[in-house]
Amino acid sequence: MPSSSIVQPSSVPSQIFTSAESFSNKLLNDKPTMIITSLAILLSLLILEQTVYRVKKGSLPGSKWTIPVIGKFLDSMNPTLEGYKKQWASGELSALSVFHIFIVMATTNEYTRKILNSPAYTEPCLVASAKQVLCGDNWVFLNGKEHVDYRRTLNGLFTRKALAVYLDSQDSITRQHFTEWLAAAKKDPSPQSIMHTTRYLNMHTSLRVFCGPHIPEEAIKIISDNYWKITLALELVNFPLAIPGTKVYGAIQARKIAMKHLEAACRDSKIWVANGGETTCMIDQWVRDLQDATEKAIADGNGKIPRTFSDREMALVLLSFLFASQDAMSSGVIYMFQHLADHPEILAKVREEQKIVRNGDYTKPMTLEQVDQMVYLRAVIKESLRLKPPVTMVPYKATKAFPISPFYTVPANSMVIPSIYPSLHDPNVYEDPHLFLPDRWLDPESKANANPKNFLVFGAGPHRCIGVEYTNINMACVMGNAAALLNWEHVRTPESDEVQMIATIFPKDGCLLRFSPRQE
Ligand code: HEM
C-alpha cells in the first residue's frame, strides 16, 4: 500500500469486496497502514492537546506539559493542603488541567475578589459534578437578575425574626446530642473521633431547622447515613461518567433519597400553614411569607401577587442549603472543639462569658439576645474559621474570555478558582497568621478589623454565603452549650495538626476527644 493512502483514505471507498476471503486478505494487507494511521491520529491529538494547553496557559506558571487526557486528575482525587499551598506559591495566577478542563487558580486577595465580583464574566460552578448531584434546575445555578430575584425571596428565611424561631430547635437538638455523647463516653471512656458524631448533630439540626415537624426522625437518619456519598463526590473534577460504582453515581442516589423526603416535608408544611399552624421551621416561614405577600397584594389591589413555588422547587432549595452547610459547618464545629481544647486559657474565658451572659443558668434555652452579648465567643468563632476556613477555595467558571489582569485573559469556559485560604493567612493583615489569637477581633482598630476584604470565609459578591448569620448563631449555640455543659480532653496525635481535605477541611486524625459532664 503506497504511503499516500495514509493521507488519502478516500482512494478506497469505491472498492467492493466480493468474498469474505478477499475481504480478510485486504484487512491483513492493510493492517500496518491502519496501525500507522491510528498512531498518526493519536500523535496529532496529543500534540493538539499539548498545544491547546500551552496556548491557554500563556505566560502563567504551571507545568509546561499536561499529562495526556487525565491531566492532574490523580492529584485532584487526593488533594492536600500542602499541594494547594505549593500551587498558590507558584504565582498570583497559575494554571493546570484536569480531564481537559483548563483551570486557572488565583492566589492573591485582589484576584480572588475580582473573580467573585465579576458576574459579567464568571459564575460559580461549585465542583464539576455539582449539576449532576444538585440537579441542573437548582436555583444555585442561576445568575444575574434571575439569581438576584430568587435570592431576594430566600433572604426572608434568614431574617432575625426567623433566626430566633430556629434557635429553639438548634438549642434542644444540641443538648440532646450532648446527652448522647456523654452516655456513649460513660460506656466507653476511650477517646473517640468526633467526625461522624458532629456530622450527625449538624444534619439533625439542619433538617429540623429546615423542615421542623414535617420530616420524620427515621428520614433524618436515612438522609444522614446516605449524605456521606454526596460529600465524597465533591472532588474538584470527578471521573466524567456517572456509572454505577463511581462516586457521582452514589451521590445521585443519595440526592434522590433526600429529595423524596424534602418534597414530602414541603407538601406537609403547605397544608400545615394553610390550616393556621404556627411557624416551626424554615419551610413554614417561606410558605407563610408567600401567603402574607399574596394576601397583602390582594388587599392593596396592586396586582403584585408573588409567584408560587412547587414542592420540588422548595426541596431543591433545601437541598442546596444542606449541600452548602453540612460539610462546612461540620468542619467549623470540629475545629472549634480542637482549638478550644488546645487553648484552655481561651476556653476558660468563653466559660466566664457564658456564666455572665446566662446568669449561670444553663437549663434555659439560649436566646438570640444572649448570642448578641457573647462578644468573646463570637471572636473565638471568627478566629477559628479564619485559621481553618472550612471552604479553602470556590470553583467558578469563566462564561466568556475574562481579562483578569492586564497581562492575562482567562479563556472562555475555563474553571477559575478564587482561593480563600491565602487571604485569611496573609501576614500583612493577620500577624502570626498560623496562631489562634481571638483577641485580634476584639480591638476595632486592629489590622484584622481594618481589612474586612481579607475575611473571605463566606466568599464575596453576589453569591456570598446566604447562611452567614445562621452559621454564627449555630456555632455560638453548639460551642456556648459545650463550654457550659461539657468537659473535653483532646488526645493529640502526630496527625492532629495535619489537614485532610474531603470537600472541606478536617483534622487528619478526626479529632479524638474524651467527653465528661461539667458541673460548675
Ligand atoms: C461554616 C459554615 C459555612 C461556610 C464556611 C460557608 C461558606 C460559603 C462560601 C465560601 C460560599 C461561596 C460564596 C461565593 O461564591 O462568594 C457559600 C455560598 C453559599 N452558602 Fe455557605 N457557608 C457556610 C454555611 C452555610 C449554611 C448554614 C447555609 C444555609 C443554611 C449556607 C448556604 C449557602 C448558599 C445557598 C450559598 C450560595 C449562595 C448563592 O449562590 O447566592 N452556607 N458559603
ipTM for the whole complex = 0.99
273-290 confidence digits (pLDDT tens): 999 999 999 999 999 999
Residue 503: its pLDDT value, please?
82
Alpha-carbon span 305 to 299, nearest angstrom: 11
User: Can you tell me the distance from the alpha carbon of 65 to that of 83, in angstroms, rounded to the nearest whole number?
Assistant: 18
* Structure confidence at residue 397 (pLDDT): 94
Distance 458 CA to ligand 1 centre (A): 6
Under the banding of pLDDT at 50, 70 and 90, the label for residue 62 is confident
The per-residue pLDDT of the chain, averaged, comes to 90
Does 19 score more than 70 pLDDT?
A: no
CA-462 nearest atom, ligand 1: 41
Percent of the chain with pLDDT over 90: 75
Q: Please determine, for residue 146, whether its predicted confidence score (pLDDT) is greater than 90.
A: yes
With a CB cutoff of 8 Å and minimum separation 6, the contacts of 92 are 106, 107, 108, 111
The superfamily in CATH containing domain 130-517 is Cytochrome P450 (1.10.630.10)
3-class SS of residue 500: strand
One-letter identity of residue 409? T
For residues 143 and 123, what is the distance between their CA atoms, to the nearest angstrom? 7
Q: How much of the chain is in helix, strand and coil states, percent to nearest 5?
A: 60, 10, 30
For residue 389, the ligand 1 atom closest to its alpha carbon is 5
Q: How many CA atoms lie within 13 A of 258 on its CB side?
A: 32
Q: Is the pLDDT of residue 200 over 90?
A: yes
Least confident of 97-111, 143-157, 172-186, 445-459: 97-111
3-state secondary structure of 366: coil
Closest CA to 206 of 177, 247, 249: 177
Q: What are phi and psi of 203, to 5 degrees?
A: -65, -45
Q: What are phi and psi of 343, to 5 degrees?
A: -130, 75
Query: Ligand 1 — pocket residues by CB below 6 A?
Result: 116, 124, 140, 151, 320-321, 324-325, 328-329, 332, 390-391, 394, 457-461, 463-467, 470-471
Nearest to 384 by CA among 327, 330, 436, 422: 436
Can you give the pLDDT at residue 236?
63
Residue the block writes with cell 504551571: 62
Q: Region 259-286: what's the mean pLDDT? A: 97
Cell of 169: 430547635
46 band by pLDDT with thresholds 50, 70 and 90: confident
pLDDT at 12 over 50: no
Distance separating alpha carbons of residues 121 and 404, to the nearest angstrom: 9
Dump strand ranges (E) for 419-490. 486-490
Q: Determine the atom of ligand 1 nearest the C-alpha atom of 124.
A: 15
Region of poorest pLDDT, from 41-45, 112-116, 123-127, 468-472: 41-45
Side chain identity at residue 238, one-letter code: N
pLDDT of residue 372: 98
Nearest CA to ligand 1 atom 11: 465
CB 190 within 8 A of CB 514: yes
Distance between Cα 402 and ligand 1 center (Å)? 24
First-residue to last-residue Cα distance in the chain: 93
- Say whether pLDDT at 237 is over 80: no
Mean pLDDT of 85-110: 91
CB 222 within 8 A of CB 261: yes
Q: Per-residue pLDDT averaged across 36-59, rounded? A: 78
Report the separation in Å between the CA atom of 338 and the middle of ligand 1, taken as the mean of its atom positions: 23
Q: Which residue from 142, 204, 465 has its CB within 8 A of the most atoms of ligand 1, so it is best to mutate? A: 465
Work out whether the CA dihedral 59, 64, 66, 72 comes out positive or negative.
negative
pLDDT at 13: 41
Going by the DSSP 8-state scheme, the letter that residue 396 receives in this structure is: E
Considering only 67-71, 233-237, 306-310, 397-401, which range has the smallest mean pLDDT?
Answer: 67-71
Q: Is 234 helix (H, G, I), strand (E, B) or coil?
A: coil
Q: How far apart are CA 517 and CA 520, in angstroms?
A: 10
Which of 164, 157, 161 is CA-nearest to residue 283? 157
Q: How far, in Å, is the centroid of ligand 1 from the Cα of 119?
A: 17
The answer on whether 465 is annotated among ligand-binding residues is: yes
* From 458, 469, 479, mutation site for ligand 1 pocket: most ligand atoms within 8 A of C-beta: 458
User: CA 393, 396, 397: angle at the middle one, nearest 5?
Assistant: 150
Q: How far apart are CA 28 and CA 34, in angstroms?
A: 10
Q: Would you give the DSSP letter of residue 393?
A: B
In this prediction, residue 77 has a pLDDT band, given cuts at 50, 70 and 90, of: low
Q: Is the pTM of this model over 0.80?
A: yes
| Whether residue 466 has pLDDT greater than 50 | yes
Contact 53, 102 (CB under 8 A): yes
Average pLDDT over residues 252-278: 97
| Mean pLDDT, rounded, for 419-427 | 98
Residue 42's pLDDT is what?
A: 80
With 80 as the cut, is the pLDDT of residue 111 above it? yes
User: Where exactly are the structural domains of the chain?
Assistant: 130-517
pLDDT at residue 240, rounded to an integer = 63
